Amino acid sequence: MYKSEYLNRIYESVVKKCPGEKEFINAVEEFLDSMEYLVKVDPSIEKNAILERLVVPERVFQFRVPWMGDDGKIHVNTGYRVQFNSAIGPFKGGIRLDESVNLSIIKFLGFEQIFKNSLTGLPMGGGKGGSDFSPIGKSDNEVMRFCQAFMTELFHFIGPDTDVPAGDLGCGAREIGYLYGMYKKLTKEHTGVLTGKGLSFGGSLARTEATGFGLAYFTSEMLKTYKNDSFKGKKVIVSGCGNVAKHAALKVHELGATVVAMSNIQGYFYDENGLDVYAIKEISDRTINIIEEYTKLYPNTKSGENKHDIWKIKCDIAMPCATQNEINLDDAKELVKNGCMILAEGANMPTELDAIRYLMKNGVIFSPGKASNAGGVAVSGLEMTQNAEHLSWTFEEVDNKLKDIMKSIFNLCYETAKKFNEPENLSLGANVAGFLKVKDAIIREGLV
């Protein structure tokens, strides 16, 4: 499958050792694609068994999370923390709380996080955690009891200089608050052990907005560099309605674009003349019945239940910000047919591999989540710095640093891709640039 015998060996070993872990295997496959040239010209990679060491997590924890429902019934979920790679800094990555969570998904996310965190330029290794618990439909008290039970296990493995979790899908400010409270009680320490905290107990301004805003800043750089253009007058689809999507929608609107369609777990909704992104933010902050509430406000809004249909709507820029595998090959064909010119991922791996290949072959410039959604973890890194110096920076200070970081991630990916004579191949740029720093650290730190 690969030209390199070494890459084939790595891929086969992962398939053999991780049967059924399709998301993780996909993430490795996509990454190895970008290593073809590098392993040929740099023998130190194979000599030091760098890829062998990269595809195996340093540590994996799996634990039972028993908690009691409001009705007095006992529930049992499974908790995970995958400490994937700490070559360049303490493990860092979110906690996903969703029914779909399994070891494969946490490993895929942790693997991606290694390169994403490296691209930010901040000293953070890659990790991820989560549970097959979904806060949707649970009471506040149930969510609290789950988070407390989860932390009574997790606290053994984390620390402000060891492993610093944060939020992800299903794990927002409320959950981080409960997790942090229990960590503090168990350790008697007020430290920056989690990011995405509330502003009253060590959180950073602009962390909530960071992933969505960062995605918009990154895409602005794409527009400027490749098209000598900007968001002004562009039609944009932003899938999702969560933290990433709503802030991406707000920022691209502020930059002059029209958001024509969005979606949530119930389906998608659209208005060719533009959605009211402020109303969407207000509604999605308080309820999950977004489509129902929004169409009450704007009765002319169209909607549908099949989420794949959102990609049939005409747009200049597509920003998938919901979850993994939301764009398949058929969706990619629709986007190309309708003249979409840029696809920038806000979620982690929302585009399937054959869809990515099709888009790139057909002139759509593609940016992988590990580059374009790195703004979230970047501001998490800035939250760690603020906690370490016991200070809080202003919104503007953090936002300006975020802008600089997204610009430098774009430039790093672009310049790296250019060296391979593939200036539009940001996947290649992101994988190679993210990898090189980690590789250097692994070699220098010796066989550990």
* Residues engaged in binding ligand 2IT (CB under 6 A): 92-94, 116, 166, 168, 195, 348, 376-377, 380
φ/ψ of 168, rounded to 5, equals -160, -165
Q: Please give the DSSP secondary-structure letter assigned to residue 308.
A: G
Cβ at position 266, least distance to ligand 2IT in Å: 23
CB closer to ligand 2IT, 383 vs 424: 383
CB closer to ligand 2IT, 34 vs 195: 195
CB closer to ligand 2IT, 39 vs 103: 103
Cβ at position 274, least distance to ligand 2IT in Å: 28
Hunting for tokens 């939020």 — which residue is that?
167
Q: Are 214 and 374 in contact (CB under 8 A)?
A: yes
CB closer to ligand 2IT, 116 vs 439: 116
Q: Are 77 and 67 in contact (CB under 8 A)?
A: yes
Residue tagged active-site, from 128, 251, 312, 439: 128
Cβ at position 273, least distance to ligand 2IT in Å: 33
Cβ at position 94, least distance to ligand 2IT in Å: 3
Q: Please give the DSSP secondary-structure letter assigned to residue 146.
A: H
Q: Are 348 and 109 in contact (CB under 8 A)?
A: yes
The first and second tokens of residue 37, run together, are: 């040239």
Q: Please give the DSSP secondary-structure letter assigned to residue 78.
A: E
Task: Tell me whether strands 342-344 and 125-131 are parallel, antiparallel or unpaired.
Answer: unpaired
Residue 395, C-beta contacts closer than 8 angstroms, at least 6 positions apart? 205, 206
CB closer to ligand 2IT, 79 vs 376: 376
Residue 128: active-site member = yes
φ/ψ of 197, rounded to 5, equals -70, 165
Q: Which residue is nearest to ligand 2IT (CB)?
A: 94
Residue 374, C-beta contacts closer than 8 angstroms, at least 6 positions apart? 116, 117, 119, 120, 214, 405, 406, 409
How would you label 256-273 residue by residue, b for 16+ Cβ within 10 Å and e otherwise?
A: ebbbbbbbbeeebbbbee
Cβ at position 271, least distance to ligand 2IT in Å: 29
- Dist CA 25 CA 111 (whole Å): 10
Cβ at position 102, least distance to ligand 2IT in Å: 17
Cβ neighbours, 10 Å, residue 41:
7
CB closer to ligand 2IT, 90 vs 269: 90
What are the catalytic residues?
128
